[in-house]
Chain A
Amino acid sequence: MRDIHEHSAGEDLVIKTSVRLLVPFIQLFGLYVIVHGHYSPGGGFQGGVILGASFILLALAYDLKTSQDYMPIWANALLGNLGPVIYIGVGALCAIFGGLFLDYSALDVLIPLGPVEWRSFGIFLVEVGVGLAVMSIMLLLYWNLSSGGALDEGL
């Protein structure tokens, strides 16, 4: 990973410093929204969008290369494919272990937590899948739209 101070030529110092300080907190808030979706407004979709927006903010304040240092293209593609795989995989596991598709209480035979606890935990697994997919797709859309598909330079 390149040093972040290399990119400071000809751009606004205030914006860059504030974004560098803000991005970890935005990502922490995105994770909180995903994980705490059981108890408060939020969930996989909103948290994924917030996580993706943190990388988009990096790309806006610095350039596309900096955001690709933090989230490489191959990792983004991997996470974007992993999200639907987690969701459909959890559903398929439920079907394999004797329940209906997406009936999380069937996973009780795998790890005995109790059927009701498994329904709560299955919702959490599914939300993580949705969050990963939405985060990478949002970042991918921004990269492709702002650079015209070349993924090298943009806003």
Chain B
Amino acid sequence: MIWQLDLLILSLVVICAVVTIQLKDLLGASVVFGIYSFLMCLLWAEMGAVDVAFTEATVGAGVSTIFFIAAILRTTRRSKD
């Protein structure tokens, strides 16, 4: 645990979460959500929970981003609100 690295990753996590909510372009939002998942993966790996980090990298960043993109392809790319 290096607290400087922790602070950097956690602030980036918060920034990514806010950007994901605020973006009107849903494709961009899903890509930023992938970045969020990778940052969480980095956080888990840094805390020593390598199995959780592995799951987060494969499921959160890999497959769920593709699912979001596939769902956007079949619905609409612009958010209404």
A and B are interacting partners: yes
A146 in complex: contacting residue of B53, B59, B74, CB < 8 Å: B74
Main SS class of interface, A: helix
B51 part of interface (Cβ distance < 8 Å): yes
* Distance A49 CA – B58 CA, assembled complex (angstroms): 7
B70 part of interface (Cβ distance < 8 Å): yes
Q: Mark A130-149, 1 if CB is under 8 A from B, else 0.
A: 00000000100110011010
Tell me which residues across on chain B come within 8 A of A138, comparing CB atoms. Answer: 63
B55 in complex: contacting residue of A45, A141, A145, A155, CB < 8 Å: A45
Q: Which residue of B lies closest to A134 (CB)?
A: B59
Q: Mark B41-69, 1 if CB is under 8 A from A, else 0.
A: 00000000011011100110011001101
* Distance A138 CA – B71 CA, assembled complex (angstroms): 14
Q: A53-B66, A154-B73 are in contact. List 13 more A-B contacts (CB 8 A).
A: A45-B55, A49-B55, A49-B63, A53-B58, A53-B62, A138-B63, A141-B67, A142-B66, A145-B70, A145-B74, A146-B74, A154-B70, A155-B69
21 pairs from A and B in contact (CB 8 Å cutoff): A41-B54, A43-B51, A45-B59, A46-B51, A46-B54, A49-B55, A49-B63, A50-B58, A53-B62, A53-B63, A56-B63, A60-B66, A141-B67, A142-B63, A142-B66, A145-B67, A145-B71, A146-B70, A154-B70, A154-B73, A155-B70
Which residues does B use to contact A, with CB under 8 Å? 50-51, 53-55, 58-59, 62-63, 66-67, 69-71, 73-74
Which residues does A use to contact B, with CB under 8 Å? 41-43, 45-46, 49-50, 52-53, 56, 60, 138, 141-142, 145-146, 148, 154-155
